Amino acid sequence: MKKIINDVANVEEEMILGLVKAAPQKLRKLDYGTIVVREPKQEDKVALVSGGGSGHEPAHGGYVGEGMLDCAVAGTVFTSPTPDQVLEGIKAVATDKGVLCIVKNYTGDVMNFEMAIEMAADEGIKADYVVVNDDVAVKDSLYTTGRRGVAGTIFVHKIAGAKAAEGASLEEVKAAAEKVIANVRSMGMAIEPCTVPAAGKPGFELSDTEMEIGIGIHGEPGTHREALGTADSIAKMLLDSILADLDYTGSDVVVLVNGMGGTPLMELYIVNNFVQDYLKEKGIRVYDTMVGNYMTSIEMAGFSLTLLRLDDEMKKLYDAKADTLAWKK
């Protein structure tokens, strides 16, 4: 394992400290655990809380700020935060309008966020949650019942965040989040695995001529392995899987070409070149495009594609101001 770190035991703590120190006027780390909250606390809006295991940087701490999240709770690498940690995050940002938790669909995350929400209710906090499940690659997996939540989660942060910033009610913010979830689909692949610092070795191994299709974001293998194809053929395969699941024909979409952490932008742009042409050919209109590292698996080399269908209300929310480390609008 070759990494630029200090001590395997301190990776999460030092990372969150370093993230907060990149915007110390706008972010704060709670003393209790690796939890990032927005500064100053916002009182007149529904508070948005997300989180999950570490290793997905900039998710989720990089999305805390104006127009997006109020709090991101990070567990250790690829491990759900505990209910206690999530509860601390909820309590730190809760308002009278309530709290919406945005949870990626992994068994541990869903269970721990649910428990934290119950514990928060016992303390008089009105909290609810949505579960993001945008990954079309797998139905059930070692980590999930139903589909996994992957890069499409950032669109839930953005659009529900904008709705909350407008002063909407908890029910309205939840409805905006659910609308994103209903309209977002993703799929990913990798040419190199990642290494969890505490494990010290990669989650799977690939030869120089192989690629892994349908990877998730926790270093686990994908659905199957193939001979490494061209950028165009890989992008086509992922898009065809997404389009077979949800018919985007005639829609306005946001495209996310997401790097898994170790993928050079050069390759992501080459992928985007194909993606844009292919969507045009399919009669799908591109409203906006994002290319970069938005939801990663540490240093995994590979990418995922995400399509989000937008209606007029979602366009307005998508375009609204956001001021976070990883996404400014």
Catalytic site positions: 56, 218
Among 9, 17, 111, 121, binds a second copy (CB under 8 A): 17
**What's the min distance (Å) between Cβ of 19 and a second copy?**
5
How far lies 291's CA from each of 159, 273, 316, 322, in Å?
Answer: 18, 11, 21, 17
Q: Enter the tokens of residue 228.
A: 């490494």
Residue 320 in contact with a second copy, rule: CB under 8 A = no
Joined together, the tokens standing for residue 45 give 């809006």
Cβ-based nearer residue to a second copy, 50 or 133: 50
Give CA angle at 185 (157, 252), nearest 5°: 85
Does residue number 200 form part of the binding site for a second copy (CB under 8 A)?
Answer: no
For residue 78, report the phi and psi dihedrals to the nearest 5 degrees: 60, 25
Residue 162 interacts with a second copy (CB under 8 A): yes or no: no
**Residue placing its CB nearer to a second copy in the complex, 152 or 188:** 188
- Chain-centroid distance of CA 75 in Å reads 14
CB of 5 to a second copy, least distance (A): 5
H-helix or E-strand containing 184?
strand 184-192
217 binds a second copy (CB under 8 A): no
List all residues 6 or more positions away from 65 whose beta carbon is below 8 Å from its beta carbon: 23, 26, 27, 38, 322, 323, 324, 325
CA distance 318 to 322: 9
**Cβ distance 62 to 325 under 8 Å?**
yes
Residue (of 98, 50, 96) closest to 70 by Cα position: 50
Q: Among 53, 58, 83, 98, which residue sits at the site for a second copy (rule: CB under 8 A)?
A: 58
Identified binder of a second copy from the candidate list 43, 118, 169, 230, rule CB under 8 A? 230
Nearer to a second copy, 55 or 98 (CB): 55
The answer to whether 289 contacts a second copy (rule: CB under 8 A) is: yes
Report how far Cα 324 is from the mean position of its chain's Cα atoms: 14
Find the binder of a second copy among 199, 237, 246, 270 (CB under 8 A). 270
In whole angstroms, how close is the CB of 273 to a second copy at the nearest point? 3
Question: What's the distance, CA 243 to chain centroid?
Answer: 20
**Residue 223 engages a second copy in binding (rule: CB under 8 A):** no
CB contact at 8 A, 132 and 153: yes
CB 45 within 8 A of CB 172: no
Tokens (6 digits) for 307: 């399509």
Which among 79-87, 93-101, 131-139, 258-266 is the span making contact with a second copy, rule CB under 8 A? 258-266
Among 128, 166, 178, 232, binds a second copy (CB under 8 A): 232
Shortest CB 56 distance to a second copy, Å: 9
- Picking from 180, 207, 177, the residue whose alpha carbon sits closest to that of residue 193 is 207
Q: Does 220 bind a second copy (CB under 8 A)?
A: no
Q: Which is nearer to a second copy, 5 or 244 (CB)?
A: 5
Residues of this chain that interact with a second copy (CB under 8 A) are 2-7, 11, 14-19, 21-23, 54-55, 57-58, 62, 191-192, 194, 208, 228, 230-232, 234, 261-274, 276-277, 289-293, 296, 298-299, 301-303, 325, 328-329
